[in-house]
């Protein structure tokens, strides 16, 4: 069983599924989707809560490490 919050993250990542070998080519200008998804989501407190991430987990980031792009803390 998964929660609605977890389902949201699974669904959005699945939208980005692609061939990372293509994205890893030296002439490709974008970071691979898996890197963009993992890096962005690991900085979200909502992701941390949804999956119960704890210090030491690969997808856990301390609040001090979070990067705010929008809103009052950006």
Other CB atoms within 10 Å distance of the CB of residue 27: 4
**Angstrom distance (rounded) from CA 27 to CA 33:** 16
- pLDDT tens-digit series, residues 27-55: 667 667 777 777 788 888 899 999 999 99
pLDDT at 67: 65
Neighbours of 40 (CB within 10 A): 13
Quote the pLDDT of residue 28. Answer: 66
Which token pair is 67? 């990067």
Query: Per the confidence metrics, is the pTM higher than 0.85?
Result: no
The predicted pLDDT at position 39 comes to: 78
Residue 70: what pLDDT? Answer: 62
The pLDDT value given to residue 61: 81
Structure tokens at 38: 């993992």
| Chain-centroid distance, C-alpha 74 | 18
């Amino acid at each position: 069983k998964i929660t609605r919050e977890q389902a949201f993250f699974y669904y959005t990542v699945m939208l980005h599924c692609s061939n990372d070998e293509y994205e890893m080519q030296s002439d490709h200008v974008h970071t691979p989707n898996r890197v963009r998804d993992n890096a962005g989501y690991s900085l979200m407190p909502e992701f941390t809560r949804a999956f119960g991430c704890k210090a030491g987990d690969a997808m856990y980031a301390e609040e001090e490490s979070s990067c705010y792009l929008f809103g009052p803390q950006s």
